């Protein structure tokens, strides 16, 4: 999609803090995180929402979520996760995406995406 924010991120037209990429999917840190490590996992092909995406792509994205969960437990020391997906009016960007939001037993403030990106690169 020509004006899709996420399509532009995938193409590299808009910078992002990429934490995963393969031929089907792209994952990056949310620039307005709800917690340290808040990640968006998206298909490279433009799908509008859950009604639009095919099952194989959806399952692939779920496997990426599971992999990132394990990595974040080890690297960020989080204690749980929220996985969210919005559709319709509550969907800010009309490109299917999953939110992976780590939680922490004690988190006083949220770090910037750049700070988390640096932690994840180690």
Strand order in the sheet with 18-21: 18-21, 25-29, 39-43, 98-103, 80-84
pLDDT digits (tens, 9 = 90+) for 35-70: 999 999 999 999 999 999 999 999 999 999 999 999
CB 119 within 8 A of CB 76: yes
Looking at every residue in the chain, the average pLDDT score rounds to 94
Cite the active site residues.
97
Q: Given the structure tokens 């780590």, which residue do they identify?
A: 102
20-29 tens-digit pLDDT: 999 999 999 9
Averaged pLDDT for residues 75-104: 95
Query: Which domain CATH number covers 82?
Result: 3.30.428.10
The domain total for the chain is 1
Q: How large is the average pLDDT for residues 71-97? A: 95
Segment 62-76, tens digit of pLDDT: 999 999 999 999 999
Residue 119: per-residue pLDDT: 86
Domain containing 29 equals 5-121
């Amino acid at each position: 999609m020509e004006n899709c924010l996420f399509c532009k991120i995938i193409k590299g037209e808009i910078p992002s803090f990429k934490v995963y990429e393969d031929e089907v999917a792209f994952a990056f840190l949310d620039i307005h995180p709800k917690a340290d490590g808040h990640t968006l996992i998206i298909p490279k092909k433009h799908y509008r929402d859950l009604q639009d995406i095919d099952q194989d792509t959806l399952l692939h994205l779920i496997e990426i979520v599971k992999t990132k969960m394990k990595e974040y437990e080890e690297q960020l020391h989080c204690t749980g996760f929220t996985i969210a997906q919005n559709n319709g009016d509550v969907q800010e960007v009309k490109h299917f995406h999953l939110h992976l939001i780590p939680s922490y037993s004690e988190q006083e403030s949220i770090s910037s995406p750049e700070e988390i990106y640096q932690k994840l690169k180690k």
